Chains A and B, each alone.
Chain A
Amino acid sequence: MRIAVQSEAFDMGAEANRFAAAVQGAGAIVTFTGIVRDSASGDLDVMEIEHYPGMTERALTTIATEAMARWSLADCLVIHRYGRLRATDPIMMVATASRHRAAAFAAAEFLMDYLKSRAPFWKKEITRQGADWVAARDEDEAALKRW
């Protein structure tokens, strides 16, 4: 299990290959990468991501440990960036490995749902019109209920 909270960019292909090379006893690997979406008006200058150093690592470790246990994963990876990003930049990535695909898919969805509303990150969109904090969506909170 690896958790990385970083400002540096990451290469999703290289990360997926490294994850696959280290995994043992698995028959399925699922990866998900979140990228910076342009603003509704298509003029995103910067997406600024703030986080709570210390709590972020703790929250991600708790979430990943739970996923490992619940789906008996062979391995799991979470990378999340902070700082100033631009449209199409990868923000975060999860990878899960399990014996069969259902567990890897479910664990990846679980990780994403919990990351959205339980990991202390906040996004601010900076456009030509100004700067706005991205509001949490009710659907994201509701998504946790299915687990």
Chain B
Amino acid sequence: MIDVLYFAWVRERIGLPRERIETSAATVNDLIAELSAREERYALAFSDLSSLRVALDQELADFDAPLAGVREVAFFPPMTGG
């Protein structure tokens, strides 16, 4: 089981802030493919990866990063702090 979190417009597009899912995805890219295949709203949210960022266990990561041992995956747009 893995916790998947969504923030900002990714959360709005998918329609929920977090969910717990059962997955055998090996990498972030695999997880994205799996989610996108589920429903249109996921496919839409993940349609342009250049406008997305991912964090694994609260550290920024790359889309080809492995998911082994990861408990929390978060998807969000580029950050706008400050």
Residues of A that sit less than 8 Å from B by CB = 34, 50, 52, 54-55, 58-59, 80, 91-92, 112, 115-124, 133-136, 141
CB distance from A110 to the nearest CB of B (A): 12
The winner among A52, A80, A92, A119 for most chain B CB atoms within 10 A is A52
User: How many residue pairs, one in A and one in B, have C-beta atoms under 8 Å apart?
Assistant: 68
A/B interface sample: 11 pairs, CB < 8 A: A52-B55, A52-B58, A58-B58, A80-B81, A117-B80, A119-B82, A120-B76, A122-B79, A134-B80, A135-B80, A136-B80
For residue B33, which residues in chain A have a CB less than 8 angstroms away from its CB? none
> Known contacts A119-B79, A122-B79; is A54 also within 8 Å of B7 by CB?
no
Given A50-B8, A118-B60, A124-B8, answer yes or no on A55-B74 (Cβ-Cβ < 8 Å): yes
Q: Is the CB of B80 within 8 A of A123?
A: yes
Nearest B residue (CB) for A62? B59
Q: Measured between alpha carbons, how far is A50 from B77 in the docked complex, in Å?
A: 12
Chain B interface size, as a band, is 10 to 19
Contact yes or no, B58 A121, CB < 8 A: no
Partner-A contacts on B (CB < 8 A): 5, 7-9, 55, 58-60, 74, 76-82
Q: Once the chains are docked, how many angstroms separate the CA of A99 from the CA of B12?
A: 47
A121 adjacent to B80 (CB under 8 Å): yes
B36 to chain A, nearest CB (A): 21
B9 engages A133 (CB within 8 Å): yes
Closest to B57 in A: A55
For B60, list chain A residues within 8 Å (CB): 118
Residue from A55, A80, A115, A117 within 8 A of B58 (CB atoms): A55
Q: Are A122 and B58 in contact (CB under 8 A)?
A: no
The CA-CA distance from A45 to B76 in the complex, in Å, is: 24
11 additional A-B residue pairs with CB within 8 Å, beyond A117-B80, A118-B60, A118-B81: A34-B82, A50-B7, A52-B5, A112-B82, A115-B81, A116-B79, A116-B82, A117-B81, A121-B82, A123-B80, A133-B80
Q: Are A133 and B77 in contact (CB under 8 A)?
A: yes
